[in-house]
Structures are given as structure tokens and as C-alpha cells.
């Protein structure tokens, strides 16, 4: 939460706290005077189970004052709203390490199946494009709202081979996305970048242009050998987490095909959400007023006020 007028909010909260302290001291002073001139035993029996009333009323008045103070500062909260249109590129790693079988049947086949789940979960108004990348990156399917075309493009992804140019894939996706509107990139890879442009620099650029990268790291902790080589297929979670953080996205690690499908299925819905700041001053003011009225009526009902 942020404030349009932070100085006013701070002053109002300090003032509300000071008033609250004065009210509590005044109430305690009156209670002490009442007890000084009363039969304590009779007093205790009389109030019996109603000891909670005074603290409850004080808490309600303090809550009302605090809410009014927050309202005075012009609070703004970030709330999610459903986007009816937008564009998302799914960048799928097709490098040699994706042939590893530590994720059954292979990392590449699991990624392809999960990409179909993402497409199926994406709202109709979201255009989806597919990019495959290894030593270089290419658009397999330009942005389309035709779900059948997008799913068919997944079947045209190249077989695993070559190096991993993550930066090239992100740069290509960023250049092919619309210049305005809701945009996002989903990156499915083992995260070990070893070719092309620096993905960290591209992630910073995308973040500055409000294009979040949602990274999905695929691979087990133990990893495995790339078929036909003596090279180990690993995963670079730290790098994937950095791409997501720099761009304002999120990172998820998956170790099997079911987890991957579930993660991308959820992302199909998440990428259709936009968080925007909403003026919450009226809500805080109404809440504070309602609590104040409730406190007054409760005090009136129990005979606290004349």
C-alpha cells in the first residue's frame, strides 16, 4: 500500500494515536475515581461479565480513528484485475540438455506437454506465441488467439540439440510483443545459458518496459547425462530467479512432468491478470465511519453514553 499524501497520513496517524492515548487515560482516571468512592465488592459483582465492554469500545474507537487517519493520506492498494486481451510468448528450450531423461520421458517432451496445458488455460482474449531456442532462437508460431494453431506449433518444435541462448529467446520475444497493452513472457528451460546475448541485460530491459518474465526451471537436483554425450544436464535456478526478479515476474522449479503441467497451467491464468493501483481512501473512510457508529450504538446500548 502507498499514499498519495504520505505526510498527511503520518500526521493523521500520530494525531489519532495521541487522541487514543488521551481517551484511554481519561477513561482510566474516571474508573479509578468511581472505584475510590464505591463498594469494591459490590462494584465487582455489579459489572460481572461486562468487563469486556469498556476495552471493546476503546478498541473500536481507536480502530475508527486509525482508519480515518489512513483515509486522509489517500491510500492506494494494488489489486488484481482480469485482462480481457493481451499477448504472451512461451519460450521453450530445445537445446541438447533438454534430451535428458531425469524428467520423464524427457525434459523436452515434458515441456511440450506443459506448453499445451498453458495454451488450454489461457483466456480466449490472450494471444499466445511460441518460440523455440537452442544455439539461436526462432518464432515457431507468431502471436495468435487460435488455440489449435498454437498447440500445433508445439509439435513443430525442433528436437533437442545445440547450446542454450536464453538471452536471444527473451530478446526475440520482447521485440515481437506489442508495444502497448498487457504483455508477458513464459520461459521454460533448465536455465544454463551458454550462447547469445546476456539474458540478465535483456531481463532488465524487459522489466523497464513492463514485460514480466515467468521462468519455469525444469530438471531434478541430481540431473542426468545428455544422451550421446558425457556432459551432465543441470539446472541454474539462481539465474532463472534473477531473470524473473529483474523483470517483475516469478520463478518456479519443477522436477517432474506433472509438476510442470500444473505450473504452466496456473501461469495460463496468472498471465491474464494485471495489478493496478486503486484509490482506497473512500473504503477506509467508510470502514472507519461504520466502526465509529457501531461503537456509539454499542455504548448507548450498555448505558455508557447518556
- Asked if residue 258 and residue 156 are part of one domain, the reply reads yes
- Asked if residue 230 and residue 91 are part of one domain, the reply reads yes
Residue 25 domain flag: yes
- Asked if residue 212 and residue 132 are part of one domain, the reply reads yes
Comparing C-alpha atoms, which of 113, 153, 98 is closest to residue 129? 153
In CATH, what number is assigned to the domain containing residue 213?
3.40.50.410
Single pTM value for the model = 0.62
Question: With 70 as the cut, is the pLDDT of residue 306 above it?
Answer: no
- Asked if residue 253 and residue 138 are part of one domain, the reply reads yes
Instruction: Tell me the mean pLDDT in the region 5-31.
Output: 67
3-class secondary-structure state, position 49: helix
Residue 306 domain flag: no
For residue 146, the model assigns a pLDDT of: 92
Instruction: Tell me the mean pLDDT in the region 245-259.
Output: 79
Residue ranges making up the domain that contains 295: 2-77+279-301
Q: Model confidence at 10, in pLDDT bands (50, 70, 90)?
A: confident
- Asked if residue 284 and residue 234 are part of one domain, the reply reads no
Tens of pLDDT along 28-43? 665 555 555 555 555 5
Question: With 90 as the cut, is the pLDDT of residue 168 above it?
Answer: yes
When comparing pLDDT for 295 and 151, which is higher?
151
DSSP 8-state assignment for residue 80: E
Residue 60 domain flag: yes
Mean pLDDT over each residue of the chain, to the nearest integer: 77
Q: How, if at all, do strands 183-189 and 86-93 pair?
A: parallel
3-class secondary-structure state, position 297: helix
Question: With 70 as the cut, is the pLDDT of residue 79 above it?
Answer: no
Instruction: Tell me the mean pLDDT in the region 142-153.
Output: 92
Comparing C-alpha atoms, which of 145, 204, 135, 138 is closest to residue 173? 138
- For the CA atoms of 103, 105, 107, 112, what is the dihedral angle to 10 degrees? -130
- Asked if residue 256 and residue 143 are part of one domain, the reply reads yes
When comparing pLDDT for 39 and 18, which is higher?
18
If one counts the domains in the chain, the total is: 2
Residue 225 domain flag: yes
- Asked if residue 235 and residue 291 are part of one domain, the reply reads no
The Cα–Cα gap between 89 and 106 comes to: 22
- With residue 140 as reference, give the H or E element that holds it: strand 137-144
- With residue 83 as reference, give the H or E element that holds it: none
**Contact partners, residue 81, CB within 8 Å, separation at least 6:** 273, 274, 275, 276
- Asked if residue 139 and residue 284 are part of one domain, the reply reads no
- What grid cell was written down for 86? 493481451
DSSP 8-state assignment for residue 226: P
3-class secondary-structure state, position 142: strand
For residue 143, the model assigns a pLDDT of: 93
3-class secondary-structure state, position 256: coil
When comparing pLDDT for 38 and 293, which is higher?
293
- Asked if residue 104 and residue 194 are part of one domain, the reply reads yes
Question: With 90 as the cut, is the pLDDT of residue 98 above it?
Answer: no
Residue 11 domain flag: yes
For residue 156, the model assigns a pLDDT of: 92
Residue 23 domain flag: yes
- Asked if residue 212 and residue 173 are part of one domain, the reply reads yes
For residue 170, the model assigns a pLDDT of: 95
Residue 163 domain flag: yes
Residue 73 domain flag: yes
Tens of pLDDT along 51-72? 666 677 777 777 787 787 777 7
Phi, psi of 230 (to 5 degrees): -105, 15
- Asked if residue 263 and residue 292 are part of one domain, the reply reads no
- Dmax (CA) for the chain in angstroms is 95
For residue 149, the model assigns a pLDDT of: 93
- Asked if residue 207 and residue 116 are part of one domain, the reply reads yes
Q: Model confidence at 230, in pLDDT bands (50, 70, 90)?
A: low
- What grid cell was written down for 117? 496445458
Question: With 70 as the cut, is the pLDDT of residue 108 above it?
Answer: yes
Phi, psi of 124 (to 5 degrees): -55, -30
Amino acid at each position: 500500500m502507498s499514499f498519495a499524501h504520505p505526510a498527511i497520513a503520518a500526521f493523521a496517524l500520530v494525531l489519532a494515536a495521541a487522541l487514543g492515548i488521551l481517551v484511554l487515560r481519561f477513561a482510566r482516571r474516571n474508573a479509578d475515581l468511581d472505584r475510590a468512592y464505591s463498594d469494591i465488592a459490590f462494584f465487582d459483582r455489579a459489572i460481572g461479565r461486562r468487563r469486556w465492554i469498556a476495552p471493546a469500545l476503546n478498541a473500536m474507537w481507536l480502530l475508527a480513528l486509525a482508519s480515518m487517519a489512513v483515509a486522509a493520506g489517500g491510500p492506494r492498494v494494488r489489486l488484481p484485475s482480469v485482462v480481457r486481451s493481451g499477448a504472451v510468448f512461451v519460450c521453450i528450450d530445445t537445446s541438447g540438455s533438454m534430451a535428458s531423461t531425469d524428467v520423464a520421458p524427457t525434459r523436452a517432451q515434458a515441456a511440450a506437454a506443459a506448453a499445451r496445458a498453458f495454451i488450454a488455460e489461457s483466456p480466449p482474449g490472450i494471444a499466445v506465441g511460441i518460440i523455440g531456442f537452442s544455439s539461436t532462437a526462432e518464432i515457431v508460431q507468431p502471436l495468435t488467439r487460435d488455440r489449435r494453431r498454437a498447440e500445433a506449433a508445439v509439435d513443430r518444435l525442433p528436437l533437442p540439440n545445440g547450446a542454450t541462448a536464453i538471452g536471444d529467446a527473451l530478446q526475440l520475444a520482447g521485440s515481437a510483443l506489442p508495444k502497448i497493452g498487457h504483455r508477458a513472457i513464459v520461459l521454460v528451460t533448465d536455465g544454463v545459458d551458454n550462447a547469445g546475448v546476456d539474458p540478465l541485460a535483456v531481463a532488465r530491459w524487459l522489466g523497464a518496459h513492463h514485460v514480466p518474465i515467468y521462468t519455469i526451471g525444469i530438471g531434478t537436483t541430481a540431473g542426468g547425462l545428455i544422451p550421446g554425450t558425457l556432459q551432465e544436464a543441470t539446472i541454474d535456478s539462481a539465474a532463472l530467479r534473477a531473470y524473473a526478479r529483474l523483470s517483475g515476474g516469478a520463478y518456479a522449479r519443477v522436477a517432474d512432468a506433472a509438476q510442470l503441467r500444473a505450473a504452466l497451467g496456473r501461469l495460463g491464468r496468472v498471465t491474464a491478470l494485471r495489478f493496478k493501483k486503486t484509490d482506497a481512501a473512500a473504503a477506509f473512510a467508510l470502514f472507519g465511519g461504520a466502526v465509529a457508529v457501531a461503537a456509539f450504538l454499542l455504548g448507548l446500548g450498555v448505558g455508557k453514553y447518556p
